[in-house]
Amino acid sequence: MAEIVYKVHRVFSDAFQDDEGTYLLTCRVEDVEAGEMFTDDIPFETFNDAYKFKRMFDSSIDAVEITVPYEGEKYDA
């Protein structure tokens, strides 16, 4: 399975839970390879994981690089 690299530049909201129980953060994301910016909800397994990720932006303005599985035209974050 291929992987794709994204850089998260900003978190817009506190963690929220979808209907399936997944915790999400709405973030400003850069597709490094395509050089495009977009806003998307990034999933986390637990509230604590989402909270820890959000806290990284409290102490730094640097983007956080994440790698996610890539299947065809839609990434599976």
Q: What length is written for the chain?
A: 77
Please state the pTM of the whole predicted model.
0.82
Beta-bridge mates of residue 66: 6
Asked, for residue 70, whether it belongs to a domain, the answer is: no
pLDDT tens profile 26-74: 999 999 888 999 999 999 999 999 999 999 998 888 999 998 887 765 4
User: How many C-beta atoms surround the C-beta of residue 57 within 10 A?
Assistant: 17
Asked, for residue 77, whether it belongs to a domain, the answer is: no
From 23, 28, 24, select the one nearest 11 (Cα to Cα).
Answer: 28
Asked, for residue 43, whether it belongs to a domain, the answer is: yes
Asked, for residue 69, whether it belongs to a domain, the answer is: no
pLDDT tens profile 1-36: 688 889 999 999 999 999 999 999 999 999 988 899
In the chain, how many domains are there? 1
Q: Which two tokens stand for residue 54?
A: 């959000």
Q: Which two tokens stand for residue 4?
A: 């794709």
User: Could you give the CA distance from residue 40 to residue 75 in angstroms, rounded to a whole number?
Assistant: 11
